[in-house]
Amino acid sequence: MSFTADRLLLFGATGDLAQRMLLPSLCALHADKLVAEDLRIVGTARQPLDDASFRNFAREALEKFMPADRRGGMATFLNRLSYQPLDANDMAGYEALAQKVGTPGHGLAIFLSTAPSLFEPTIAGLTAGGLAGENVRIGLEKPLGTCLESSREINDAVARAFPEDRTFRIDHYLGKETVQNLLALRFANILFEPLWNAAHIDHVQITVAETVGLEGRVSFYDGAGALRDMVQNHMLQLLALVAMEPPANYDATAIRDEKVKVLRALRLVAPDETVTGQYRAGAIGGQPVPGYDEELGQDSDTETFVAIKAHLDNWRWKGVPFYLRTGKRLPERKTEIVVQFRHVPHSIFAGKGALTVPNRLVIGIQPEENITLSLMAKVPGLDREGIRLREVPLDIAMADAFAGPNKRIAYERLLLDLIEGDQTLFVRRDEVEAQWDWIDAIRASWTSHGVRPKTYTAGSWGPSSAIALTERDGVHWHE
């Protein structure tokens, strides 16, 4: 049902995500007049706050996490906020919550950013409190379970109250501008599509490297690990966008139909096609940092690094490895996709002593947003001793190409789409299930082979076996 919500109900309103991302994003949308005047935002969490103290709480979060030059509309933004304390397990509390939300003029958007264990009682409470009708849609923040089975339980519980077209599963990578730009790059240019297949592409690399460690998320992260925290969602979504067939339209159904086909084509990974690691004390940017076990305060077998050689069993990608790599406490923060093209079929320069290097497309997602295509060019000269060729980059820095527009954080886009009801950048249930299916098989193979993470020094690119994973195919990680 299409409506623009005039009420937004935030569960987990005093949590870390709300402070760092949700409240700043909503404030920015307000300041830029992108949300309607009548949008009211109700926060809820366990803390016993009232409206005034929640507004103070929000003000402090905005001052801490929002750049000063984007806080223009803060005072009027705070007037939109109110608060209702709630123990999500206590069904009696939902009536008061419903009263606080009031009767929306058009509709209500709910954003659940709570522990997954609270999803089921929350959905039951929303239903009992009359907060799950036709003019209500729900946004769900990860983690949505820890395996296919638990994700199905959550999705079933949600589906009892909210049909799929009113369920918005968040993967914040889809809200990132450069991730959406992948679609523009692939489908608004004629150059790449004819070459975008196994005949012309040797392999693809996707790296999501972080310098941060546990960041105090002890209880969550140790139960998840890099595979479930980063690969199951963000990296597989990136892979799907790189590998999918051209959708017929830019709309939620067409795009998600194509992504799910890719996710279902993922081949079961062989035991020697994954590498896991866990960081030990080291240094990042010259600063000493402790090891994972020290941050955690105990020994653990949780992986903070994973590298995978993935394959898609379909016509387009037969025989093209997708090397995925993500980890915490790596030397730099970098998310990028590297598309490595094949050699020219025949080099006319070979007889002249010149080597040709295959073309490479590097799509930088963060921190820098840029697209670099490396091309071969002739080194200027009279060529008396043979022709010399060299790789030269064709470089597009998005910040230079599009100076002016504010750089928006992913949640601005996603919250706006949730309020307005556009599902294109949200993950459909079949996608999530295909993702879990593949991830569960990897975990099962780790268990049956007794795989334990190898150690790596914080500030390095992971265990040496991650390098061997590509080197044995004659491929170097792009660094």
> Could you confirm whether 476 is annotated as catalytic?
no
Residue count (the chain):
479
178 contacts 398 by C-beta, under 8 angstroms: yes
Backbone angles phi, psi at 216, to 5 degrees: 75, 5
Number of residues this chain uses to bind ligand BG6 (CB under 6 A): 2
Nearest approach, Cβ of residue 241 and ligand BG6 (Å) = 15
272 contacts 266 by C-beta, under 8 angstroms: no
Nearest approach, Cβ of residue 247 and ligand BG6 (Å) = 25
Nearest approach, Cβ of residue 54 and ligand BG6 (Å) = 25
By beta-carbon proximity to ligand BG6, the closer residue of 278 and 359 is 278
Residue whose beta carbon is closest to ligand BG6: 229
Q: Which residues 437-476 are close enough to bind ligand BG6 by CB under 6 A? A: none
Nearest approach, Cβ of residue 208 and ligand BG6 (Å) = 7
- Asked if 412 is part of the footprint of ligand BG6 (rule: CB under 6 A), the reply reads no
Q: Which helix (H) or strand (E) holds 454?
A: strand 454-457
Backbone angles phi, psi at 396, to 5 degrees: -120, 115
Q: Which residues 44-103 are close enough to bind ligand BG6 by CB under 6 A? A: none
By beta-carbon proximity to ligand BG6, the closer residue of 6 and 336 is 336
By beta-carbon proximity to ligand BG6, the closer residue of 6 and 229 is 229
Q: Which helix (H) or strand (E) holds 274?
A: strand 274-280
By beta-carbon proximity to ligand BG6, the closer residue of 229 and 417 is 229
By beta-carbon proximity to ligand BG6, the closer residue of 216 and 393 is 216
Strand segments, DSSP code E, in 73-230 are 81-85, 108-112, 136-140, 167-169, 201-209
Nearest approach, Cβ of residue 274 and ligand BG6 (Å) = 19
Q: Which residues 199-238 are close enough to bind ligand BG6 by CB under 6 A? A: 210, 229
By beta-carbon proximity to ligand BG6, the closer residue of 40 and 329 is 329
DSSP 209: E
Q: Which of 30, 172, 203, 234 is catalytic?
A: 234
Nearest approach, Cβ of residue 225 and ligand BG6 (Å) = 10
2-13: b (≥16 Cβ within 10 Å) or e: ebbbbbbbbbbb
For residue 477, what are the CA distances in angstroms to 132, 207, 243, 361, 373? 48, 9, 19, 14, 17
279 contacts 328 by C-beta, under 8 angstroms: yes
222 contacts 302 by C-beta, under 8 angstroms: yes
How far is Cα 459 from Cα 288, in angstroms, rounded to an integer? 9
Of 111, 116, 119, nearest to 138 by C-alpha is 111
3-class DSSP state of 129: coil
Nearest approach, Cβ of residue 415 and ligand BG6 (Å) = 15
By beta-carbon proximity to ligand BG6, the closer residue of 197 and 366 is 366
- The CA-based diameter of the chain, rounded to the nearest angstrom, is 88
Q: Which helix (H) or strand (E) holds 236?
A: helix 236-243
Residues 6+ apart with CB under 8 A from 403: none
Residues that bind ligand BG6 (CB under 6 A): 210, 229
The catalytic residue positions are 234
